[in-house]
Amino acid sequence: MKVRPATPADVPELCSFLNEIIRIGGTTANETPFTSESFTAHYLAGPGFVSCFVAEDVDGRPCAFQALERYDGLPEGWADIGTFSRPDAKVRGAGTALFAATRDNARVQGLTALNATIRADNVGGLAYYGKMGFVDYKVDKAVPLKSGLPVDRVSKRYLLAAV
């Protein structure tokens, strides 16, 4: 599995499968589709940008990506993590490979912890972050979606001990 930093050339494909995930619903807090410009601003070049890594399938196509960003509300030295996989063809091991690259880069950048906030109804996302070593530290109850449906958000953290 090849994992590498995301580039602007990846944006159309990453944006396309992220928008498909949003359209399907149920696994992301994102509810508004991205344009190429808004995707770039959020995941590759925004003021809170830390990193974005892409996993490629055997054909060299992006099959998943993982991004880190900083934003107000997180403790100093923390970044928020988001992981997205192509919904029509998941590649076994992509999430583990992405997290290794993201974690190692976060340490190099001097971060102390990663935060993952996951919808409580996203069973796969909760399991993935648990498998990577994240532990629950807070739950925001009944956060409404655009439809008004209340969904809990589970926040998990991963402490980046020096290696």
pLDDT at 25: 78
Specify the amino acid at residue 95. Answer: G
What residues contact residue 80 under an 8 Å CB cut-off, 6+ apart?
68, 69, 70, 71, 74, 114, 115, 116, 117
- In this structure, how many other beta carbons lie within 10 angstroms of the beta carbon of residue 99? 23
What residues contact residue 5 under an 8 Å CB cut-off, 6+ apart?
51, 52, 53, 54
pLDDT tens-digit profile, the chain (163 residues): 899 999 999 999 999 999 999 998 777 777 889 999 999 999 999 899 999 999 999 999 999 999 999 988 899 999 999 999 998 878 899 999 999 999 999 999 999 999 999 999 899 999 999 999 999 999 999 998 888 889 899 999 999 976 5
Q: What is d(CA 68, CA 92) in angstroms, rounded to the nearest whole number?
A: 22
Helices (H) and strands (E) in the chain, counts: 4, 7
Q: If residue 53 lies in a helix (H) or strand (E), which one and from where to where?
A: strand 49-56
Q: Which residue has the tokens 């344009």?
A: 35
